């Protein structure tokens, strides 16, 4: 018998209802009961959608007001002292203080650190645990949601983030190993499981995505016992341990399968090795058949064949990972062209796909649906929209003449020094300037057709000229045009490239109330026309200073899109890389002498297992070089990256061979630069000298000190001075103030 399950459903709302309610609540426009009602409504709708679409094991406790790791922090009472928690049931006030910081007279604290959830674009709040950390059941959330569902006649499968993932994703204060707290945390987990079982849960899902990573043997040796302990507390409830995002290593798989838990969830989309664990499995399996983090229709016949030849007995079928990473419902979609829409499947449609598989295998029904799926899948395979031989042929030959600059950095640097004649500690910015409300309004009006193209263009010209004059007045050495014409650094390029399409409804949660709407790459990518020359050239024509051209790199475009799944990601990246190469060449031809190619997402694309890093880094570095190496020695290539731990990948960053790299460093007070020092990073570096995420304006002396600190780590003749990242989220007054101080600091240091 086959059961269809969800292992987590999206929670922000089909129309982002939760986002809207949260933001109103934070502004004080609605009170807590109204927020709670919205949440209740959304949960109920989610359960109903799952039921209506034939889900047998419906999830609960997959809702969150902000983040499920934060929910677990509260559940376990692991709230850091600075939030002044009173030890009673955790209030929304304490909850949001951890999520977003608090600036009231009672409580003036920053938020918990936030970081990427595995290799997705979702961010979680990092638990902070002390050596003598105590845990205590401190919220009712999983129980209340289970009962809430029960009242509406849904018998749900509560989901709890497991103890191993929770501890290993947490930060140990003063560097102690958080896994040492396992014996202390387990009693609370057992209490939670017992309580859920007592309330009548038939299944309890323990999420342990961390098990797909490389774990040291000390951790591996504790897996079996941990799960046995949890099972002991479960009474009549069954325990499903869910792993996802990758394969399980053989030895980890053996430990889980040897434990007493009732079922294991395997990701069969990313985890190709996992497929070997299905045949003759001694445990009940939950098969993650359908891609939970992409938007393509599944080839159902393929999945049916797989089940028929591999699985036997009772199985659960579901998505590869929680549907948190998929948009809600394709029925709401209004923008994607019809011929592409029929290739797509969002969360609700994925449930329907699972149903076809189940019913076709168990009862031989749903033949019409299956037939339709076969047709749509075939249609996509053979569509003319997807295939472009010229593009496919272009990526076939990638050799050194394409990926290498003509001369080495040392030679280039000499040539560039002579022609640019920049002072010591040259100043610049990362690209964008404040996207003030007039900019956003004009764009919205233009998109709605209320502002004609000519007027919009004129408006952008004025904005650009204004930004240039401001930079000249402040005395910035290398200036930028300001990116006023861009909504988003990926969307702007996607809109002009072939092979991309956009949705009206394809939102996925990024963090808290923030959602992103990634473009869809469906076909071979190429650049029919120049994309940025118009604005870079316009800007250069307005000033004697050097204007830096501004592009988004191929890996970042890839990483922040829904990528086609019918060819390797590497090939898609290479196609984008050639499109950017064409743009770089065009900029150079049009008199742009410095070109920045941003790659903030290079690091987050790293595979989860270290054994796969080398391959990824090799093709991603090559992609950057395909884009950049086309220029003459005289043209200076910049790149920019933010918020990454560079230590593991500094070799690859150097291999990009950009003439200048600007990076985030100010929050870590230049600590990051020690990595560059140790590695003897050869090219020029612009360590960010102030944090653009905060409206706070640094003093001139603070900036000076940071530059001086940097100069001890890197040869001062190779240091640039710039903020951490683009300035689009800031206002003009603080931007002018901060940049003026930055320039003054650089000028004073030049005198030494
Ligand atoms: N050039 C982009 C900007 O300034 C870079 C953004 C980023 O690094 N995320 O906005
Ligand atoms: Zn940045």
Ligand 1 centroid distance, CA of 726 (Å): 4
Q: 430 in ligand 1 pocket by Cβ < 6 Å?
A: yes
Residue 636's DSSP bridge partners are: 594
Instruction: Name the residue with the closest Cα to ligand 1, atom 5.
Output: 726
Ligand 1 atom with least separation from CA of 550: 1
Return the best residue to mutate from 555, 598, 642 for the ligand 1 pocket (most ligand atoms within 8 A of CB): 598
Ligand 2 centroid distance, CA of 480 (Å): 15
SS3 for 167? helix
Angle in degrees, 0-180, between the axes of helices 182-199 and 141-151, rounded to the nearest 10:
20
Domains and CATH numbers, the chain: 2-381 (3.20.20.210), 394-750 (3.20.20.210)
Average confidence (pLDDT) over 514-521? 95
Cβ atoms 525, 519 nearer than 8 A: no
Q: Give pLDDT tens digits for 261-282.
A: 999 999 999 988 999 999 999 9
Catalytic residue among 123, 218, 638, 693: 693
Instruction: Name the residue with the closest Cα to ligand 1, atom 3.
Output: 726
Q: Give pLDDT tens digits for 518-546.
A: 999 999 999 999 999 999 999 999 999 99
Planar angle of CA 662, 665, 666, nearest 5 degrees: 120
Ligand 1 atom with least separation from CA of 726: 4
State the average pLDDT for the chain.
Answer: 96
Residue 186 CA to residue 181 CA, distance in Å, equals 9
Task: Tell me: pLDDT of 645 over 80.
Answer: no
Ligand 1 centroid distance, CA of 655 (Å): 21
Residue 167 CA to residue 656 CA, distance in Å, equals 35
- Which ligand sits closest to the CA of 430? 1
Ligand 1 atom with least separation from CA of 640: 8
Strand pairing of 102-103 and 108-109?
A: antiparallel
Residue 646 CA to residue 666 CA, distance in Å, equals 14
Instruction: Name the residue with the closest Cα to ligand 1, atom 9.
Output: 600
pLDDT at 647: 85
Q: 233 in ligand 1 pocket by Cβ < 6 Å?
A: no
Cβ atoms 597, 625 nearer than 8 A: no
In the chain, what percentage of residues exceed pLDDT 90?
93
Active site residue 693: yes
Instruction: Name the residue with the closest Cα to ligand 1, atom 6.
Output: 726
Rg (CA), the chain: 27
For 317, how many CA atoms within 13 A lie in the half-sphere containing its CB? 29
Which of 458, 491, 464 lies closest to 480, judged by CA? 464
One-letter-per-residue 3-state SS of 657-693: CCCEEEECCHHHCCCCHHHHHHHCCCCEEEEECCCCC
Virtual CA dihedral for 554, 557, 560, 566, nearest 10 degrees? -80
Q: Give pLDDT tens digits for 360-400.
A: 999 999 999 999 999 999 999 999 999 999 999 999 999 99
Token pair 């861009």 is found at 486
Cβ atoms 108, 82 nearer than 8 A: no
pLDDT at 666: 76
Residue 202's DSSP bridge partners are: none
pLDDT at 636: 98
pLDDT at 670: 83
Q: Give pLDDT tens digits for 413-453.
A: 999 999 999 999 999 999 999 999 999 999 999 999 999 99
Task: Tell me: pLDDT of 667 over 80.
Answer: no
Task: Tell me: pLDDT of 668 over 90.
Answer: no
Residue 350 CA to residue 352 CA, distance in Å, equals 5
pLDDT at 459: 98
Task: Tell me: pLDDT of 311 over 90.
Answer: yes
pLDDT at 163: 98
For 117, how many CA atoms within 13 A lie in the half-sphere containing its CB? 26
Ligand 1 centroid distance, CA of 722 (Å): 13
Neighbours of 297 (CB within 10 A): 21
Which of 167, 211, 242 lies closest to 8, judged by CA? 242
Q: 595 in ligand 1 pocket by Cβ < 6 Å?
A: no
Token pair 């990634």 is found at 518
pLDDT at 541: 98
Q: Which residues surround ligand 2, an ion (CB under 5 A)?
A: 600, 642, 725
Task: Tell me: pLDDT of 619 over 80.
Answer: yes
Which of 527, 529, 534, 573 lies closest to 550, judged by CA? 534
Residue 187 CA to residue 310 CA, distance in Å, equals 38
Element (H, E) at 392: helix 389-394
Task: Tell me: pLDDT of 175 over 90.
Answer: no
Q: 728 in ligand 1 pocket by Cβ < 6 Å?
A: yes
Average confidence (pLDDT) over 487-493? 94
Q: For the full predicted model, state whether its pTM sits above 0.85.
A: yes
Return the best residue to mutate from 116, 429, 431 for the ligand 1 pocket (most ligand atoms within 8 A of CB): 431
Ligand 2 centroid distance, CA of 664 (Å): 7
């Amino acid at each position: 018998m086959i059961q269809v399950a969800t292992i987590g459903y999206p929670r922000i709302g089909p129309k982002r209802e939760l986002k809207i309610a949260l933001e109103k609540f934070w502004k004080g426009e609605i009170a807590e009961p109204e927020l709670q009602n919205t949440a209740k409504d959304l949960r109920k709708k989610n359960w109903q959608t799952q039921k209506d679409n034939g889900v047998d094991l419906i999830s609960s406790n997959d809702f969150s007001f902000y983040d499920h790791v934060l929910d677990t922090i509260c559940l376990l009472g692991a709230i850091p002292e600075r939030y002044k928690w009173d030890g009673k049931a955790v209030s929304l006030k304490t909850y949001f203080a951890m999520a977003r910081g608090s600036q009231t007279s009672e409580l003036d604290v920053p938020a918990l650190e936030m970081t990427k959830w595995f290799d997705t674009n979702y961010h979680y709040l990092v638990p902070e645990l002390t050596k003598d950390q105590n845990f205590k059941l401190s919220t009712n959330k999983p129980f209340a949601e289970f009962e809430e569902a029960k009242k509406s006649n849904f018998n749900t499968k509560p989901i709890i983030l497991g103890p191993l993932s929770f501890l290993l994703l947490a930060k140990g204060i003063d560097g102690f190993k958080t896994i040492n707290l396992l014996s202390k945390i387990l009693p609370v987990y057992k209490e939670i499981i017992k309580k859920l079982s007592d309330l009548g849960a038939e299944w309890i899902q323990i999420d342990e995505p961390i098990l797909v990573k490389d774990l040291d043997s000390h951790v591996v040796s504790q897996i079996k016992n941990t799960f046995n302990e949890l099972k002991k507390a479960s009474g009549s409830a069954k325990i499903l341990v869910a792993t996802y995002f990758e394969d399980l290593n053989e030895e980890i798989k053996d430990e889980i399968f040897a434990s007493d838990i009732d079922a294991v969830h395997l990701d069969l989309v990313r985890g190709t090795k996992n497929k070997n664990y299905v045949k003759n499995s001694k445990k009940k399996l939950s098969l993650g058949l359908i891609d939970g983090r992409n938007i393509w229709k599944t080839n159902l016949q393929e999945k049916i064949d797989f089940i028929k030849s591999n699985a036997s007995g009772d199985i659960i079928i579901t998505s590869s990972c929680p549907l948190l990473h998929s948009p809600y419902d394709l029925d709401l979609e209004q923008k994607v062209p019809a011929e592409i829409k029929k290739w797509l499947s969002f969360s609700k449609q994925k449930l329907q796909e699972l149903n076809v598989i189940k019913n076709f295998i168990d009862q031989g029904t749903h033949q019409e649906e299956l037939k339709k799926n076969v047709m749509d899948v075939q249609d996509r395979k053979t569509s003319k929209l997807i295939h472009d031989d010229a593009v496919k042929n272009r990526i076939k030959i990638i050799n050194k003449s394409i990926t290498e600059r003509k001369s080495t950095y040392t030679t280039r640097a000499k040539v560039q020094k002579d022609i640019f004649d920049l002072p010591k500690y040259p100043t610049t910015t990362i690209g964008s300037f404040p996207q003030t409300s007039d900019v956003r309004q004009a764009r919205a009006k233009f998109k709605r057709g209320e502002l004609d193209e000519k007027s919009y263009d004129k408006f952008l010209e004025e904005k650009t000229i204004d930004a240039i004059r401001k930079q000249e007045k402040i005395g910035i050495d290398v200036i930028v045009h300001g990116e006023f014409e861009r909504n988003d650094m990926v969307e702007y390029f996607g809109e002009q490239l072939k092979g991309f399409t956009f949705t009206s409804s394809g939102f996925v949660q990024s963090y808290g109330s923030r959602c992103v709407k990634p473009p869809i790459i469906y076909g071979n990518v190429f650049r029919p026309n120049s994309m940025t020359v118009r604005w870079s050239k316009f800007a250069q024509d307005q000033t004697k200073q050097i204007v830096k051209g501004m592009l988004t790199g191929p890996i970042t475009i890839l990483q922040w899109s829904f990528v086609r799944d019918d060819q390797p990601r590497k090939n898609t990246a290479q196609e984008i890389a050639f499109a950017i190469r064409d743009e770089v060449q065009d900029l150079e031809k049009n008199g742009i002498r410095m070109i920045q190619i941003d790659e903030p997402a290079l690091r987050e694309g790293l595979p989860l297992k270290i054994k796969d890093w080398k391959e990824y880094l090799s093709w991603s570095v090559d992609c950057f070089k395909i884009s950049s190496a086309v220029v003459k020695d005289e043209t200076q290539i910049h790149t920019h990256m933010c918020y990454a731990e560079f230590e593991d990948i500094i070799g690859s960053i150097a291999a990009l061979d950009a003439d200048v790299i600007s990076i985030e460093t100010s929050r870590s007070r230049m600590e990051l630069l020690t990595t560059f020092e140790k590695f003897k990073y050869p090219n020029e570096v612009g360590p960010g000298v102030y944090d653009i995420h905060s409206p706070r304006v640094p003093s001139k002396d603070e900036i000076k000190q940071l530059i001086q600190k940097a100069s001890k780590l890197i040869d001062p003749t190779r240091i640039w001075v710039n903020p951490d990242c683009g300035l689009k989220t800031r206002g003009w007054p603080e931007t002018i103030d901060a940049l003026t101080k930055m320039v003054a600091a650089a000028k004073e240091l030049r005198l030494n």
